Structure 1
């Protein structure tokens, strides 16, 4: 190793130029060859792509086909009969609307976590049969203004 170090020391300029040339050649080779990197996790055969595909199949919210409707009361609680009845009716009407796959009601046993700790706010998750971007605008507006 010592002879190599002495040679490099004696020929410093040649060694530096060789390194610069090598790095330049490698950079040019990468530029010409391109890369196979992509910005879409679905287009590649990776663990991430497979996980994304599973999420899209299993959960409509992961696929971008859901939304939330939030109710809030100023006085009392959303579980009071005067507030719960109109909200439950709205959830039922929204669930029966065309293009809606399902609605998770905050008043079902599974929906208890959809009511805030202070009881003043509740939400329902609406799952659409198709992507929200593909859903007709007037249908989404009608659901948003349904009372």
Structure 2
């Protein structure tokens, strides 16, 4: 009988990695090749502009985009795309995402319906810097490690 493989994605706005669990009591192990690092955001080129109306004294401002937020959103899409490919290759059966609130929201937005179906839990804390041994206590509410 094939074990049910659960991937745990540990992510923040700059990096993400995957750990695997092959059933209760088997612990967590890093998945080779499943680590990503975000590219540095482009610095803003100029301040937001102001447009003057030709019909009168009105002035309107142009919104400034946040390059760090845009970089984080692109990174979340990159990670979700890679996970979607791994799911299509049947590398895992279930998914748990552990990320800070902002990154978790960006990852949810980038997730396709197949990944949503495999998602068994989320933890909205940035635990990416914790050693593997310390993660089991945080995952106890979501799954048996």
Normalised to the residue count of structure 1, the TM-score between the two structures is: 0.24
Higher relative contact order (CA 8 A, sep 6+): 2
Bigger fraction of residues in helix: 1
Normalised to the residue count of structure 2, the TM-score between the two structures is: 0.25
Bigger fraction of residues in strand: 2
